[in-house]
Structure 1
Amino acid sequence: MTDRATTVAPTAGQRWRSARWLVLALLVVGVVATISTLLTAPRPGARMDPGATSSGGAHALVAMLRDHGVDVVVADDIAAVERAATPDSLVMTVQNRHLVGDEVLRRLAAAPGDRLVVEPVSRTREILAPEVRRADGGTAGGDPECDLREANRAGDVQFGASDTFEASGDVPVTTCYDGAVARYTDRGRTVTVVGSADFMTNAGLPKRGNAALAMNLAGTQPRLIWFAPPRSEGESSGAATLSDLIPANVKWVVWQLCLVVLLLAVWKGRRLGPLVAERLPVVVRASETVEGRGRLYRSQRASDRAADALRTATLQRIVPRLGLGPSADRAAIVTAVAARCGWDAGTVGHILFGPAPATDDDLVNLANALDNIERQVAQS
């Protein structure tokens, strides 16, 4: 047998050398995409959450205050407020569903320093700002129309829907923006009440003079204690899992990278490499191959398979000589062979398409008969 061209699959080392730059590029892209997503993904949170970058959060206001030198202390519970509060600090209380307990409100009222109460409900206002009460009607903003310096510097403000307040006793109360902002001084402490927090949120700060008013009200003291409790006192927040700490966008990036790697593996796995000439280590004679296959058939007593192989090979050689196509049926082949050889059609059909031989002698006789048919067809 002669040498022939064969396909040789590249070794593991060759595959790695050709793919390592692609793997490195994928890793770099994945790391950059992950870091970018972590830095730019919005951080969700509740309304006026100082760490939330969503539209209702207050991360922008906290960042602005800190840039202007205000020490912003985010207190998660009343104990943190009491530890951080000093006479020259401002305690900012943001109303939410967790700020409802009378005990917490009384402890807030007893904390030292000025007080900024945002969107208070009735009970919160009665304890933290008892000198004001809710007035009839509401406002959406406009000009301050008061002599409060912080409001006049801010000018026109857009609050959104806001409650309004008025004095409830003998203590003088300054009201601005039709009562949306109220301020009074009691026993050396300045108390400011705001009817809406919309102008302090990330989405509200860019409108009109909202950022200026939010900065002026929250930055009156060198230290601001931000109290918007994330949960009720005594309520456990639970342990966060690793999946909870991963932003949703990062998960999508990981799934996309997995899909890219899978497609790359399918694409590269189908490549068997270029055709190369390879010298076969052993040359085997055709007769030895036939003899070896014959011995295998004999050892397994597979006379039926041997007979089928002989008949198939004979038919593949004589059918073109008979002028028949590859789809010719048995009857047409038998008729053509019988006409060429001058034999009986039944005999020809038995030789070409008959049952498998029962003994080795029958297999030898079948081989001789097939060889005789092929010779006569070739010579006729």
Structure 2
Amino acid sequence: MTTTAIGPTLQKRWGGMKWVLLTLVAITVVSVATALLTTPNPGGRMEADSTSPDGANAIVTLLRDQGVDVVEAGSLADVENALTPGSLLLVAQTFYLVDDDALRTLAGLPGDRLLVEPVSRTREALAPGIRTADTTSFGGAPDCDLREAERAGDVEFGVSDTYEADDLALTSCYDGALIRYRADGRTVTVVGSADFMTNAGLLTDGNAALAMNLAGTRERLVWYAPQRVEGESDTSTSIMDLVPERIFWVILQLCLVVLLVAWWRGRRVGPLVAEDLPVVVRASETVEGRGRLYRSRRARDRAADALRTAALQRTLPRLGLGGQSPPAAIAQAVAHRTGGDPAAVGFWLFGPPPTTDDELVELSHQLDHIERQVAQS
């Protein structure tokens, strides 16, 4: 009777294949978990559960961590059911409140009010006697005796409306961008911008502190930021509604095919072989070569765009701003940090492309100077 080495050979191959399959399974599980945990929750501006830059999930989470009972009201009926005399009603996205009956209903509800960036119709119904002033506020120091604003200090509103009144005893802060008064047994607070309460705006200056102080004045907060006209149903169709039902079985079969191909190829995987790179190119040579290409083609516009883009990518995180921030807000934030002129900062960061090599060199020097000032401030 003869014996062969088939048993040990198959066992050795199965050992190698087993680790390949385990690695593929681990990569798949980690990829799916990462996608589920890091995918932002889409939503509208100031929507309580939205994790997009314009959403308000961050401030709502902070308020709940501090013990505030935040109730997300998706409709006027939800507001009526949740609001109590000792609670605070926050109203945002007011351009969707176009129905006079809905505004009258809101005006008759009990509790204090916090109106965020209200349009004229909402302001006249919920904060009568208040009118917009002719000035615009970008934030800065509070310059008032309102405790919530004094504790927050400097804030960055972006572009904000300002308010005034003749017959009301107003407390006005931030050049009129934030006002408060008492009327009919309730406290009414009006703020002319919502940017400081969004996920993208909380990290700037004292924005988070002011948002917490204004929205956390009561133990119960009813958050009402309608994303469509009151009474209008959401008939939008998502991309998943367009996917045929059987496509999931097709995906499952493709995954099975991938696993079989991996098993087939995994039996022939040999040991790793270390190989030296044929050419090592220094980073400085790459940059210099790219610069020569720009110069040979007289592509000063592309060179300037590359310099400005790189400068913004390094500067914006230090200012707590995102890539979606408008140029005016970025210029204002840089000027506020460095003490410079917003117009000059905006020219160097977003101005026209240079027309000569000397202007391109001057642009690079100015961008480097701005970066150093932001980093050292």
Report the TM-score, using the length of structure 1 for normalisation: 0.60
Which residue matches 2:44? 46
Q: Which residue of 2 aligns with 1:338?
A: none
The answer to whether the aligner puts 1:187 opposite 2:200 as a matched pair is no
Deviations 1:118-161 (A, max 9, x none): 01111110001112110111010011111111111111111100
Q: Is the 8 A contact 1:139 1:161 kept in 2?
A: yes
Match of 1:76, as an amino acid? G
Q: Find the counterpart in structure 1 of residue 205 from structure 2.
A: 208
Q: What do residues 43-85 of structure 1 show as CA deviations (whole Å, max 9, x unaligned)? A: 2211111111121111110011011110000000000000000
Any conservation in 2 of the 1:132–1:173 contact (CA below 8 Å)? no
Stretch of structure 1 that moved more, 260-269 or 46-55: 260-269
8 Å CA contact 1:30, 1:257 repeated in 2: no
Change (3 A) 1:139 1:188: same
Tell me which of the two structures has the higher relative contact order, counting C-alpha pairs closer than 8 angstroms and 6 or more residues apart: 1
Tell me the secondary structure at the aligned position of residue 87 of structure 1: coil
Contact 2:94 2:119 in 1 (8 A): no
1:176 pairs with one of 162, 165, 173: 173
Secondary structure at 2:223 match in 1:
strand
Q: Which residue of 2 aligns with 1:281?
A: none
Q: Do the aligned residues in 1 keep the contact of 2:70 with 2:222 (CA within 8 Å)?
A: yes
For 1:196, give the aligned amino acid: S
Cα 1:258–1:170, aligned 2, differ >3 Å: closer, same or farther?
farther
Superposed CA offset, 1:276-318 (max 9, x none): xxxxxxxxxxxxxxxxxxxxxxxxxxxxxxxxxxxxxxxxxxx
1:59 aligns with 2:57: yes
User: 5 Å matches for 1:340-359?
Assistant: none
Which of these residues, 209, 233, 253, is aligned with residue 236 of structure 1? 233
Mark the runs of 5 or more structure 2 residues left unpaired by the alignment.
1-5, 270-377
The root-mean-square deviation of aligned C-alpha atoms, in Å, is: 3.4
How many pairs are equivalent? Answer: 256
Q: 21-30 or 50-59: which moved more?
A: 21-30
1:222 maps to what in 2?
A: 219
Q: Is the 8 A contact 1:95 1:119 kept in 2?
A: yes
What CA distance in whole angstroms lies between the structure 2 residues aligned with 1:126 and 1:259? 64
Q: Which residue does 2:310 correspond to in 1? A: none
User: After the TM superposition, which residues 121-136 of structure 1 pair with which residues of structure 2 at under 5 Å, given as runs?
Assistant: 121-136=119-134
Residue in 2 aligned with 1:93?
91
1:35 aligns with 2:42: no
Q: CA deviation at 1:188?
A: 1.1
How far is the alpha carbon of 1:37 from its aligned partner?
A: 1.8
- With normalisation by structure 2, the TM-score equals 0.61
- If you compute each CA radius of gyration, which structure gives the higher value, 1 or 2? 1
Q: Residues of 2 paired with 1:84 and 1:21: CA distance?
A: 56
**5+ unaligned residues in a row in structure 1: which ranges?**
1-6, 272-380
Deviation at 1:21, TM superposition (A): 4.3
The structure-2 alpha-carbon separation of the partners of 1:245 and 1:160, relative to structure 1 and needing over 3 Å to count, comes to farther
Percentage of pairs with the same residue = 55
